[in-house]
Structure 1
C-alpha cells in the first residue's frame, strides 16, 4: 500500500468518536486486512464482568470495514450493509484484538470477515467471528 492509502485509513479511523470512546487503536493496515485493538475498560463491561458484546461487535465491524476500504480507490468510503456475529466465548482478558479481512473485494459490494480475540498476558483466545457486506460509497 502507498503511504497515502495508509494515511487515509488512519485519518478515517481517527474521525470515529466511537473508537475513541472505546479506547480502540488501529494497530496494523495492509491491503485487505486491518487490525484494531481495544482495552476491556470498566465502562465496556456487561453485568457478569465480561467485555460487552457491543465492544466486540464495534471493533470487529470497524476492522472489517477498514479492511474493505484498503481495496478501494482513495475517493471511496464504505458503509456496512449487513454484518452478523457469532459469539464463541466470553470477552475475558486485558484487551480485544479484531482482525478484519476481505473475502471478496468488489466495486459494488465487498464481502468481509473479522475474528475477534481476547488477550491476557500475550495469550489470545478466539471469542467471536463476524461476516458481512460493505458497500462502497463516494467519499
Structure 2
C-alpha cells in the first residue's frame, strides 16, 4: 500500500470514531511503526484547575498506541493493556501524542507513546508517557 493510501486509511479510521471527532483529534502522521495524533486544547477539555483533563491525555495515548499497533498488525486491533504516567500538568495550545512500536510479534505489538503539550510558538513539554500492548483480533492472524 502506498504511503498516501496508508495515511488516508488511518484518517478514515479516526474519522469513524465519534469521540475523536467530538474532541477534535487529528491524525497528522500515520506510517508503519510511527504515529502522530494532535488535539487542540479547548476549554471543554480542561478540569477544575484549568489543566487538560487526564482522561483526554489518556485517550490521546491510548488511541495513538492503538493506531501505531495497527500500523504493523493490520486494522483489526484492540488495546490489550496500557499504563500511563502523568509527568506534569498539561497546559498549552494543543496535545501532541507521538507513538512508536517497541516490539512486534505475530498477534501483538508493544508500543510506546509520549504525550506533549505545545504552546503557540511550537515549544513542547512532555506531560505524559505510556506503554501498551496492542493485539490483533483478525481471524487471519
2:116 and 2:53 map into 1 onto residues whose CA distance is 13
Aligned residues: 137
- Checking the alignment, whether the CA contact within 8 Å between 2:73 and 2:107 is kept in structure 1 is no
Question: Once superposed, which parts of structure 1, at least 4 consecutive aligned residues long, lie more than 3 Å away?
Answer: none
2:105 and 2:6 map into 1 onto residues whose CA distance is 17
Superposition TM-score, scaled by structure 1 size:
0.92
Aligned to 1:134: 134
- Checking the alignment, whether the CA contact within 8 Å between 1:65 and 1:100 is kept in structure 2 is no
- Checking the alignment, whether the CA contact within 8 Å between 2:6 and 2:31 is kept in structure 1 is no
Superposition TM-score, scaled by structure 2 size:
0.91
SS in structure 1 at match of 2:132: strand
Query: Please, which runs of 5 or more residues in structure 2 have no aligned partner?
Result: none
Instruction: Say if 1:95 and 1:44 are closer, same or farther in 2 by CA, change over 3 A.
Output: same
Cα offset, 1:108, TM superposition: 1.6
1:6 and 1:117 map into 2 onto residues whose CA distance is 22
2:110 and 2:64 map into 1 onto residues whose CA distance is 13
1:1-139 → structure 2 map (5 Å cutoff)? 2=2, 3-73=4-74, 76-121=75-120, 122-138=122-138
Task: Report Cα offsets for 1:30-73 as digits up to 9, x if no partner.
Answer: 21011000011111111100000111110111111111111124
Cα offset, 1:138, TM superposition: 2.0
2:37 and 2:7 map into 1 onto residues whose CA distance is 14
2:109 and 2:39 map into 1 onto residues whose CA distance is 25
Task: Report Cα offsets for 1:63-109 as digits up to 9, x if no partner.
Answer: 11111111124xx4110011110000001101100001111112221
Query: Please, which runs of 5 or more residues in structure 1 have no aligned partner?
Result: none
